[in-house]
A = this chain, B = another copy of it.
Amino acid sequence: MPYYSKPLNNLINELVKLPGIGPKTAQRLAFFILERSNENVTNLARALVKAKSEIHFCRDCFNFANDELCPICQDQKRDHTVICVVEDAKDIVAIEKTHQYHGLYHVLQGTLSPIDGIGPEQLKIAQLLKRVKSGTVKEVVLATNPNVTGEQTAMYIAKLLRGLNIKLSRIASGIPVGGELEYADELTLGRALDGRTEI
């Protein structure tokens, strides 16, 4: 597009590579950025480079960290005897927002998916096993997504951990709070019945 000057065109091309940013949004962002102060733009650019260069994976749980351990693994007030196993670091944020979990995490960095060539070696499963076997862990909560690959992964890990004398659990599936039975699919409703709790 010759009606953009080159640096602007270049910026739009870079922004378009981000997820959920189409050409229109990229253009809007680029024009917005041009109207911001130099300092603002430099801050954003610096934050990008700094996050990328300083953040790596936590030694223990494979969450994002800028020290050897992530903020959660470092926190001595948390319960180090419980590990919640999730697929992705994003899931930690979701669980933390509930304020109901105070243990540690373990990020698998994906799910088992033979079709995509992802087996146990591609995930952080061996590392989880090692953590659990180290002795301090008393409970493991499997919090992979309740979809096909998430379920399979949870089942696979459950089999590995079963003999280890720890409490093993899976997060509940059921009707979301505020949802309606009428609109729930049969599988979810079946799970909700299966997982009924006494009141």
Contact = CB atoms under 8 A, between A and B. Distances in A.
B45 A49 contact: yes
A34 interface: yes
A8 to B, nearest CB: 6
Query: Which among A14, A42, A53 has the greatest number of chain B C-beta atoms within 10 A?
Result: A14
A31 B90 contact: yes
A19 interface: yes
Q: Is the interface of A mostly helix, strand, loop or mixed?
A: helix
Copies of this polypeptide in the complex: 2
Contacts of A17: 40, 44
A13 B30 CA distance: 18
A48 B55 contact: no
B15 A55 contact: no
Interface of A: 1-8, 10-11, 13-15, 17-20, 25, 27-34, 36, 38, 40-55, 64-67, 70-72, 75, 88-90, 92-93, 96
28 contacts: A1-B96, A3-B72, A3-B92, A5-B64, A5-B66, A5-B71, A7-B54, A7-B55, A7-B66, A8-B51, A10-B50, A11-B48, A11-B50, A11-B51, A14-B43, A14-B44, A14-B48, A15-B44, A18-B33, A19-B29, A31-B88, A33-B51, A34-B55, A41-B48, A41-B52, A42-B52, A45-B45, A45-B48
